[in-house]
A and B are shown apart, each in its own frame.
Chain A
């Protein structure tokens, strides 16, 4: 049983296209995230949602639009893809409201290549 699952795992697309990555968690968590890992393996948060409400938006270009239809799903839509968007995108989830020791659980990543 996969706790945080995201699709697709691999995506190759042309510049200018629009694409979506879907994420679902079955852990009963109320907070979900998108992180980006660049070619140098550096990981940075993009967005965070709690109970379908946006709580963190880390100055990501507005070509990136997250959508949370319910607290178990957080999808990432990217418009007008650029070469620099090539990266691994990780979905993650946690339970808000406890101490700062909340564990964030990650999906397996979606490898996006823009050509």
Chain B
């Protein structure tokens, strides 16, 4: 079945550091890919998405590019802030299956 693999956390960075959170997927067909973020004590918010190969999703300084050849959707940000501290979830939705399959989440901790 479809699955998503994320790097283990926590990822600990200093403010203004460069962030990469790796995400790879296994799926039949051509899924759409998503990054969701969960701030402490809050619900899930959509951060960005990409619906086809080579698409780049971006929001709030975060970016991720849909790479079909490497089945990856790595999340990047050039300069993180303390307020970016949260759990980040990579997810896919496959054509015809109206459900999200999530990775295990990666906790990001940013210190001043």
Measured CB to CB, the nearest residue on chain A to B101 is A45
- Inter-chain contact B45/A55, CB cutoff 8 Å: no
CB pair A31 B98 closer than 8 Å: yes
Q: From residue B102, how far is it (CB to closest CB) to chain A in Å?
A: 4
- From known contacts A43-B89, A90-B43, infer whether A100 and B99 are also in contact, taking CB-CB under 8 Å: no
Interface residues of A in 18-62 (CB under 8 A from B): 31, 33, 35, 40-45, 48, 50, 55-56
Answer whether residue A104 sits at the interface, using C-beta atoms and an 8 A cutoff.
yes
CA distance A43 to B37 in the complex (A): 12
- A56, B96: Cα distance in complex, Å: 12
**Count of chain B residues with a beta carbon within 8 Å of a chain A beta carbon:** 27
Q: A65 on the interface (CB 8 Å rule)? A: no
> Min CB distance, A4 to chain B, in Å?
8
- A101–B38 Cα distance when bound, in Å, is 20
Tell me whether A56 and B93 are in contact in the complex, defined as CB-CB below 8 angstroms, given that A40-B104, A99-B32, A100-B30 are known contacts: no
For chain A, the count of residues having a C-beta within 8 Å of the partner chain is 28
Q: Does B44 contact A (CB under 8 A)?
A: yes
Q: Assess A48 versus B104: contact at CB under 8 Å? Given A100-B94, A107-B43.
A: no
Interface residue from B36, B43, B105 paired with A42 (Cβ < 8 Å) = B105
User: Contacts A101-B51, A106-B43, A109-B43: A44 and B102 contacting too (C-beta < 8 A)?
Assistant: yes
Contact with A along B76-112 (1 / 0, CB 8 A): 0000000000010100011111111010110100000
CB distance from B30 to the nearest CB of A (A): 7
A94 to chain B, nearest CB (A): 7
Interface positions, chain B 13-51, Cβ under 8 Å from A, are 30-32, 34, 36, 38, 42-46, 49, 51
Contacts beyond the supplied A104-B93, A106-B36: 15 A-B pairs with Cβ under 8 Å:
A33-B99, A41-B38, A41-B87, A42-B102, A48-B99, A90-B44, A99-B51, A100-B30, A100-B97, A102-B32, A102-B93, A103-B49, A106-B43, A109-B42, A109-B43
